[in-house]
Amino acid sequence: MRLELDAVSKRYGSTTALDSVSLSVDDGEFFTLVGPSGCGKTTTLRCIAGFESPTEGTVRFDGESMVGVAPESRGVGVVFQNYALFPHLSVGENVAYGLRFTDPPGGGSRDERVAELLDLVDLAGFEDRDPDSLSGGQQQRVALARALAPGPDLLLLDEPMSALDARLRDRLRRQVKRIQSDLGVTTVYVTHDQSEALAVSDRVAVLNGGRVEQVGQPRELYRRPRTRFVAEFLGENNVLDGVVESRPETGGIRVGVGDAVFTLAEGRRVLGEAGSRAGAGDELTFCVRPEQLRVGAGTNKIRGTVVDTEFQGATTRVRLDWGGTELVVAVEDGGEQSDAGFEVGTTLEVGFAPASAHVVE
């Protein structure tokens, strides 16, 4: 089922929760809405499910407007953050609830469908269990099975992993993705965890303050963020504000940041819209990922003082003070020999290639 949001706005009195949000989700796509708390992602989900009505704009399922259509008539499966399992019904009865209003898809009996779904989420034989007796991860899988049992055209998940510990989260995330792609059901996933968003989605929409900042595939968003917000929200980033010095004939841009001058490569990938149009004297903001700042390499050089290091296993996050600006460098772990070079107070020279930067608006 193809989902479209057509300039959807939602206002509560004087507060605007959604400001003209337009999105489209293709049939079978795993689409994620990501953003900080209060950005409007849950509101968007609720408008899609029909629990809220947009103040302006239209939600369309396969081109049909959903204005005035009650939630129970939309064919949408929802999994909430706290799972909302019916405490007075058994696991099997929970999963079977939606089948009271529609026939099990694909023929077959209700019991068969329940068993099929519990098997799908690796909870075979749990029909008679009491929801309260299950662990968080098990409850979440029951909630998923319940939402999928009636064979919905659209699956909505509202931060389903936030109540689980990190290990479990990773495992369940992969399981949900696998189930989704096996069934081919259009899915909208809401989360505040940007790493989760990048890991499982076909496409991601970054929301901020009720507006869509950028939509695209995870790699594209990570490598070519369009705005400062997206650059800083998805992973760590070094965002530098500068002024364009000149545009040499050989191509590229020379940007002055403080006392230093950096060269950025020519081309859309690096310069984007804003960079391509910029002329001498214009302000320009660009970002460089921590992993693109190489120690002792790269033509654009930076010398800074180490103020902090954070050992994270495979990489170490080194924070540098560069003339008042804090930069983050991601260094691959090189074993005990390399520890000495990054003590607090050491002077460190890092650099980045002209093609490793990205201009943001």
Hey, is 36 helix, strand or coil?
Answer: coil
Closest approach, Cβ 132 to another protein, in A, equals 13
Closest approach, Cβ 88 to another protein, in A, equals 5
Closest approach, Cβ 72 to another protein, in A, equals 5
Phi and psi, residue 107, nearest 5°? 65, -165
H or E element: which one contains 330?
A: strand 325-332
Subset of 113-142 contacting another protein (CB under 8 A): none
Cβ(244)–Cβ(255) below 8 Å:
yes
Cα(113)–Cα(107) distance, integer angstroms = 9
Nearer to another protein by Cβ, of 103 and 339: the residue is: 103
Hey, is 92 helix, strand or coil?
Answer: helix
Closest approach, Cβ 5 to another protein, in A, equals 18
Cβ(268)–Cβ(356) below 8 Å:
no
Hey, is 113 helix, strand or coil?
Answer: helix
Considering only residues 14, 63, 68, 101, which one is a binding residue for another protein as defined by CB under 8 A? 101
- List the x/- string, 71-100, binding to another protein by CB under 8 A: xx-x-xxx-x-x-x-xxx--------xx-x
Segment interacting with another protein (CB under 8 A) among 66-74, 110-118, 217-225, 352-360: 66-74
Cα(345)–Cα(305) distance, integer angstroms = 6
Nearer to another protein by Cβ, of 59 and 231: the residue is: 59
- Enumerate helices (H) and strands (E) in the chain, giving the number of each: 10, 20
Nearer to another protein by Cβ, of 123 and 157: the residue is: 157
Subset of 140-199 contacting another protein (CB under 8 A): 143, 146-147, 150, 156
Phi and psi, residue 180, nearest 5°? -60, -45
Cβ(148)–Cβ(106) below 8 Å:
no
Subset of 18-57 contacting another protein (CB under 8 A): 49-51
Residues near another protein (CB under 8 A): 49-51, 70-72, 74, 76-78, 80, 82, 84, 86-88, 97-98, 100-102, 143, 146-147, 150, 156
